[in-house]
Amino acid sequence: MDTSLDLERATTEEFEHTVWLIEGIRIVIRAPRSEKIGNYKPKRAADEGWSITKWLESDRLKGAKPFEITVIDGDGEEPHGRSLLRTVRQTYN
């Protein structure tokens, strides 16, 4: 049994959790929970003035790009792509 850590790849669940911790944004990746994808590399949150669309299209999420990624706000809804990250982050409070 291989017990080595795969530092270059994370499960979709790990990726989603890391995005929450760094970005303060909930995402859902449409892939099996155990699917190995790239790691979330950024160490700081994206600018609060970015739109959801700009953030989703940026390289920040490239590890999960083969799959559909959905942003979920604090009300459990999918915000419009023009919504700013600042606005979405405020919905979780």
**Which pLDDT score is estimated for 17?**
95
- Decide if 53 is inside a domain: yes
Q: Is residue 70 part of a domain?
A: yes
Q: How many domains does the chain have?
A: 1
In a domain, 66, yes or no: yes
DSSP state of 30: S
pLDDT in tens, 20-40: 999 999 999 999 878 899 889
Are 47 and 25 spatial neighbours (Cβ–Cβ below 8 Å)? no
Collect the ranges in the chain with pLDDT lower than 70. Answer: 1-7
Contacts of residue 72, Cβ cutoff 8 Å, sequence gap at least 6: 26, 27, 28, 78
In this prediction, residue 2 carries a pLDDT of 42
Domain of residue 34 covers 9-90
